Chains A and B, each alone.
Chain A
Amino acid sequence: MLQGVVSGLLFGGVYSLMAVGLTLIFGVMRVVNFAHGDMMVWGMYLAYVLAARAGVDPYVSFLVCAAALFALGLGVQRGLVDRIVDAPHEMQILLMLGVALVLENVALLAFGPEPTRVRSPLASATLWLGPVFVDVARLVTFLVAVALTTALWAFLFRTDLGRTIRAAADNTYGALVIGTDVRRVYAVAFGVGAACVGAAGALVSPILPFQPPTGLSLSVASFNIVIIGGMGSLLGAFVGGLLVSLAESLGAVFLKPSLKELFSFSLLIVILLFRPAGLFGRRSA
Chain B
Amino acid sequence: MRWALAGGVVALLALPAVLSSYAVTLFILIFFYGFLGQAWNIVGGYAGQLSAGHAAFVGVGGYTATMLSIELGLTPWVGMLVGGALAALLGAIIGYLGFRFGLRGFYFVLLTVAFAEICRVGVSNIDALGGPLGLYITFTGDPRQFQFQDGRAYYYIALALMLLATLTAWAIERRRFGIYLAAIREDEAAAEALGVNAFKYKMLAMVVSSFLTGLGGTFYAFYLFSLQPNTLFGIPLSVEIIIRPIVGGAGTLLGPILGSFILTPLAEISRLYLGQGGYHGAHLIAYGVLLIAVVLFLPEGAYPRLRRALARRAGEAR
Number of A-B residue pairs, CB cutoff 8 Å, is 115
- Is B16 engaged at the interface, CB distance under 8 Å to the other chain? no
- Chain A: residues with Cβ within 8 Å of the partner, total of 43
Interface centre among A103, A220, A259, A272 (most CB of B within 10 A): A272
CB closest residue in chain A, given B294: A94
A105 and B282 CA atoms in complex are apart in Å by: 7
Question: Which of B118, B279, B290 touches A113 (beta carbons < 8 Å)?
Answer: B279
Chain B residues lying within 8 Å of A98, measured Cβ to Cβ, are: 287-292, 295
A101 engages B239 (CB within 8 Å):
yes
Chain B residues lying within 8 Å of A273, measured Cβ to Cβ, are: 97, 101, 103
CB closest residue in chain B, given A93: B106
Q: Least Cβ distance of A82 to chain B in Å?
A: 10
- Is B121 engaged at the interface, CB distance under 8 Å to the other chain? yes
Q: Which of B275-297 contact A (CB under 8 A)?
A: 279, 281-282, 284-285, 287-292, 294-296
Given contacts A87-B299, A95-B295, A102-B288, A109 and B282 within 8 Å (CB-CB): yes
- Is A99 engaged at the interface, CB distance under 8 Å to the other chain? yes
Of the stretches A42-50, A196-204, A261-269, the one at the interface is A261-269
A101 engages B287 (CB within 8 Å):
yes
- Is B215 engaged at the interface, CB distance under 8 Å to the other chain? no
Q: Least Cβ distance of A76 to chain B in Å?
A: 10
A93 engages B101 (CB within 8 Å):
no
Contact with B along A244-285 (1 / 0, CB 8 A): 000000000000101101100110110011000010100000
CB closest residue in chain A, given B105: A89
B50 engages A93 (CB within 8 Å):
yes
Q: Least Cβ distance of A111 to chain B in Å?
A: 11
- Is A175 engaged at the interface, CB distance under 8 Å to the other chain? no
Q: Least Cβ distance of B313 to chain A in Å?
A: 28
Q: Which of A171-216 contact B (CB under 8 A)?
A: 216
A93 engages B287 (CB within 8 Å):
no
Chain B residues lying within 8 Å of A95, measured Cβ to Cβ, are: 291-292, 295-296
- Is B107 engaged at the interface, CB distance under 8 Å to the other chain? yes
Q: Which of B110-154 contact A (CB under 8 A)?
A: 110-111, 113-115, 117-118, 121-122, 124-125
B285 engages A106 (CB within 8 Å):
yes
- Is A223 engaged at the interface, CB distance under 8 Å to the other chain? yes
- Is B189 engaged at the interface, CB distance under 8 Å to the other chain? yes
Chain B residues lying within 8 Å of A265, measured Cβ to Cβ, are: 114-115, 117-118, 121
CB closest residue in chain A, given B125: A258
Given contacts A89-B105, A261-B117, A266-B118, A105 and B285 within 8 Å (CB-CB): yes
A268 and B121 CA atoms in complex are apart in Å by: 15
Chain B residues lying within 8 Å of A113, measured Cβ to Cβ, are: 279
Question: Which of A32, A268, A269 touches B97 (beta carbons < 8 Å)?
Answer: A269
Chain B residues lying within 8 Å of A99, measured Cβ to Cβ, are: 288, 292
Question: Which of A105, A112, A278 touches B102 (beta carbons < 8 Å)?
Answer: A278
Residues in chain A within 8 A of chain B (CB atoms): 32, 34, 80, 83-84, 87, 89-95, 97-106, 108-109, 112-113, 216, 220, 223, 256, 258-259, 261-262, 265-266, 268-269, 272-273, 278, 280
Q: 5 A-B contacts, Cβ less than 8 Å apart?
A: A95-B295, A103-B288, A272-B101, A272-B114, A280-B102
Closest CB pairs A-B (n = 6): A101-B288, A98-B291, A102-B288, A98-B292, A265-B114, A105-B285
